[in-house]
Amino acid sequence: MKVLSPLIQVALVQSTVCVAGYTNESEVPYYGRSPAVYPSPIGNGSTSTAWETAYKRAKALVSKLTVEEKTNLTRGHDGQCVGNSGAVPRLSIPSLCFSDAPDGLRGQEFVSAFPAGIHVASTWDRSLMYEYGHALGEEYHDKGVNVALGPVAGPLGRLARGGRNWEGLGADPYLAGVGMGAITKGIQEAGVIANAKHWLLNEEEWRRNPGDMGEALSSNVDDRTLHELYAFPFMDSLKEGIRSVMCSYQRSNHSYGCQNSKLMNGILKTELGFDGFVVSDWDAQHAGVASANAGLDIVMPDGGFWGRNLTRAVNNGSVTADRLDDMVTRILAAWYLTGQDEGFPAPGMYSEADKHDPIDVQRDHADLIQEIGSAGTVLVKNVNNTLPFTNSTRFLSVYGYDATVSAAPWSNPSRYGGGYEVNFGWTTFNGTLFTGGGSGGSTPPYVVSPFQALQERTSRNRGTLRWDFYSENPTPAYVNSDACLVFINAYASEAFDRTSLTDEFSDNLVKNVAANCSNTIVVIHSAGIRTVDAWINHPNVTAVLYGGLPGQESGHSLADILYGDVNPSGRLPYTVAKNESDYGSLLNSTVSFDAFPEVNFTEGLYIDYRAFDRKEITPRFEFGFGLSYTTFKYSDFHVKSTGNRTSALVDPSIAIVQGGHPELWDTLFEVTASITNTGDVAGSEVAQLYVEIPNAPVRQLRGFERVPLTAGETKTVTFPLTRRDLSIWDVVAQQWRLQHAEYSVFVGASSRILHLNGTLEIE
């Protein structure tokens, strides 16, 4: 057998899985090409009794529709919502309302601005992820939105400067998967159809759509990496019963996402048993018949390639009548399954064309937003217990554009995304950052800025505040201050990728304040990675907090941490390097002016901390890192087999359900460890489980738990390890393979602080 090229070796991660039968590297399925998978599977609701019942009702209704009515249901229409499906009034089928964003209803009044996905991931808290999803679902439901466009695991965060990384749930498939599953469950238990996006490989914004320069970029990836990294988190969403998925803009292995039959027919609807419907990203459909046959079920926003064209295609046999029936059945089955036929609020979305009395859907969600805001704040430096403030901390000086709110953030409320970057030379300082830009951005009813919250605390304590929000070198330096707080941020948005992970003005601001203040505390609100080596080792920089994108209660969440009402427990969901160059080829988007631009995922499975581990690069702050106001001890490590089947491959006689083969979710081993709070204040530790899977990256996250502990308290944490957690994707068998080998297992406080270790063996 021919020795594989370095490219394919990377793609297969030097797997020992047999590739017999392939004499040429181009035959190894598959890299840079997307195999055709036809016909599109007909959904049947076999995933559960509830799905099966919904399908029976949907099919009965579809049998009463004309071809024209069916095609009308599969195309978007203009209307009150961001997206609106067709309706059939004679059969009481309403138009379904689709709306952004994954962190709150965009462009609306009396709605909440929740923390962004990346901030929720920073909590590493499963229960908060669910509560977040449920609260979002309640607001969507009360506004009459049938389909909420979220949660997000695409982008996963392959590129450090990716413009939309902040919408997702961290740069690890396991962490993102837990978030996807919990948020999906929360949204749908509130009576709203969740929409997992973007399927798949939408990792950068540069040339995501075709235009004057040519086609959209092609994300070229090998089969194993596609499964183990990029499809992995979507599986959790599918297992929790998600009812819709959004296909992505760019090409994947040279086929556009919304007409890629391998991704939709092959992986999503066959391999992973998806019974719901696939909706296009807005204007992401680039062909009519091809997208229909590849598995697209409804097009947004206006269905230019469908409508009458789809009717003609069905009548002339280019698209089968069965395929059209399946499209409509999937949409209506999701509607029935969610119970929206039993009485659902009419859309109450405000727009310039449809003004009405606003509907208040905020409930008591501000409390949850504040809690998540604090839980996702990551303390990364705290010299000599600078934080929390004590009763004697009464004189504070506040510096930086990020401390206060923008003077006029509402220039375009329908597309409001914060817009709080500092772009010197053409715009002014824009205030504190609590969300990112573009369709994923939230629209706040108000914003509690850090400065407002500090004023509240200072007035309560009869203290003193001094401030300068806009100077690069603030004067005078208030040498009598107990502490100087410097607020900076790092903005990102849909439609473009970041050009830097730092900025000169903000770095100079920190250094200038630190030069005159011996107790300088830096707070960074960022849409992702923000490097800090320009000043992190300055002796007067005593504490540093990554404040993330915390939503409308930003200041209150931060004050809770600063004053010790909440002990910080946030952990980084990505790796912060010492130098931007440490990210190597995973720093920038691929800028190409070719007519057919290419981006090759030649790093395979090695992104973020996996890449740093492989190259033995020491990061500034590793994935999973974060400090606390107390200390913890790890002990009593144990691994126990559950006795479930450990055959190399799953039982082929068992039917696939939504989320994949049922045996993938069987727990094969349980790892336990004891965590003790050895300090004198209560706090939560985020215990993390990493596994060294043979023929794979040296460490992969495979479990975590946020554990609240009072001073001196000990709790035992149990980490279940499923078949999927311990398997690799066999590119020849086209199945998940469990290797009969010894696996090293680690438990600790980050990807590099590993307190306990042991092994498990699969015979």
Helix (H, G, I), strand (E, B) or coil at 389: coil
Helix axis angle, 554-562 to 450-461, nearest 10°? 50
DSSP-assigned letter for residue 437: B
Name the one residue in this structure whose structure tokens are 């977040």. Answer: 132
Q: How far is CA 293 from CA 36, 251, 296, 624, in A?
A: 11, 17, 7, 42
- The angle formed by the CA atoms of residues 436, 146 and 278, to the nearest 5 degrees, is 80
Query: What kind and span of H or E run contains 490?
Result: strand 483-490
Instruction: Show contacts of 341-345: CB within 8 Å, 24+ apart.
Output: 344/94, 344/141, 344/144, 344/146, 344/191, 345/141, 345/142, 345/143, 345/144
Q: Which of 401, 576, 590 is nearest to 501 (CA)?
A: 576
Helix (H, G, I), strand (E, B) or coil at 340: helix
Q: How far is CA 723 from CA 59, 228, 267, 739, in A?
A: 35, 13, 19, 10
Q: Which of 751, 511, 758, 502 is nearest to 612 (CA)?
A: 751
CB under 8 Å to 308, separation ≥6 — which residues? Answer: 71
Q: Which of 295, 290, 299, 216 is nearest to 599 (CA)?
A: 216
Residue type, 444: P
The HSE-up count of residue 237 (CA atoms within 13 Å, CB side) is 37
Q: Which of 281, 259, 263, 280 is nearest to 272 (CA)?
A: 263
Locate 558 and state its tokens: 């931060």
The HSE-up count of residue 400 (CA atoms within 13 Å, CB side) is 34
In angstroms, rounded to a whole number, what is the distance separating the alpha carbons of residues 117 and 120? 5
Say whether the peptide bond before residue 30 is cis (omega within 30 degrees of 0): yes
In angstroms, rounded to a whole number, what is the distance separating the alpha carbons of residues 601 and 606? 10
Residue 506 has phi, psi (to 5 degrees) of: -65, -40
Beta sheet of 714-722, edge-to-edge order? 632-641, 667-677, 714-722
Is the sign of the CA dihedral 486, 158, 238, 85 positive or negative? positive
DSSP-assigned letter for residue 264: I
In angstroms, rounded to a whole number, what is the distance separating the alpha carbons of residues 12 and 28? 10
Q: Which of 707, 680, 383 is nearest to 522 (CA)?
A: 383
Q: Which of 702, 696, 695 is nearest to 754 (CA)?
A: 702
Q: How far is CA 612 from CA 157, 194, 237, 609, 616, in A?
A: 15, 34, 28, 5, 6
Beta sheet of 541-546, edge-to-edge order? 378-382, 541-546, 520-526, 483-490, 395-399, 464-468
Provide DSSP, 4-54.
Answer: PPHHHHHHHTT--S--TT--SGGGSS-BS------SPPPP--TT-HHHHHH
Active site residues: 281
Q: Are 208 and 216 in contact (CB under 8 A)?
A: yes
Query: What kind and span of H or E run contains 376?
Result: none
